[in-house]
């Protein structure tokens, strides 16, 4: 049995991972699908103080709640930011670190910094209402009513890393090449040339839970071997 901690991307709660999480549980694994502060069912906690450090602390807390078992730590999209910060603080607790079409920041970078110009403009526009809550685009909100606003500061705050996360033996990056206009192209180009990563690619869109759930399950199960 393995222990999995799954961290979703912008606007999404832990529910996004549940179709695959349930299949992992059915196979006997322990799975936590985490909802970050200020998002999803925790949306009522969203104010101007919720930032990347808040989300890193969310992940670290979830890791510490299962001290007996090293975790397979998985982040999708924005989720790559807080899992990187948490892995840097708890490298000895990580069995495998998995970035699913996600940010993989270096010290001093923010999600906003990594994003190309067009995506930066979307972030600014999304928070134009009150200045601290990003409003999801209509196509996402129409697809699932559980989508909520997301804290802008989590996208703007630069991460601080010691480099301890780079010593984790198993680090995997999955690039989803069917994501048109992906903001992760530069990240993928860097990681696939780095031998310390296992770099994988699937020709599907960014919503891997919808587009390739079987392949995702196979990848996650491989992390427990």
- Among all residues, which ones are annotated catalytic? 77
Rounded to a whole number, what is the largest CA-CA distance in the chain? 47
d(CA 217, CA 110): 29
Question: Cβ of 10: how many Cβ atoms within 10 Å?
Answer: 23
Alpha-carbon torsion 205, 83, 150, 20, what sign? positive
Cross-strand partners of 31: 4
User: Residue for token digits 């399950």?
Assistant: 217
Q: Does an H or E element contain 126, and which?
A: helix 117-126
């Amino acid at each position: 049995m393995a222990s999995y901690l799954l961290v979703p991307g912008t606007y999404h709660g832990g529910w996004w991972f549940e179709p695959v999480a349930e299949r992992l549980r059915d196979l006997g694994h322990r799975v936590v699908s985490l909802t970050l502060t200020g998002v999803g069912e925790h949306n009522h906690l969203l104010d101007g103080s919720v930032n990347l450090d808040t989300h890193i602390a969310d992940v670290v807390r979830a890791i510490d709640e299962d001290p007996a078992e090293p975790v397979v730590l998985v982040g999708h999209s924005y989720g790559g930011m807080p899992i990187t910060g948490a892995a840097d603080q708890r490298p000895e607790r990580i069995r495998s670190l998995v970035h699913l079409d996600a940010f993989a920041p270096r010290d001093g970078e923010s999600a906003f910094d990594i994003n190309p110009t067009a995506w930066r403009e979307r972030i600014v526009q999304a928070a134009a209402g009150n200045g601290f809550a990003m409003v999801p685009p209509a196509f996402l909100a129409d697809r699932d009513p559980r989508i909520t606003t997301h804290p802008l500061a989590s996208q703007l705050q630069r991460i601080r890393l010691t480099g301890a996360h780079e010593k984790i033996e198993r680090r995997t990056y999955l690039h989803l090449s069917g994501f048109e206009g992906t903001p992760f192209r530069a990240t993928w180009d860097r990681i696939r040339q780095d031998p310390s990563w296992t770099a994988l690619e699937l020709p599907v869109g960014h919503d891997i839970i919808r587009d390739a759930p079987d392949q995702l399950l196979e990848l996650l199960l491989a992390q427990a071997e």
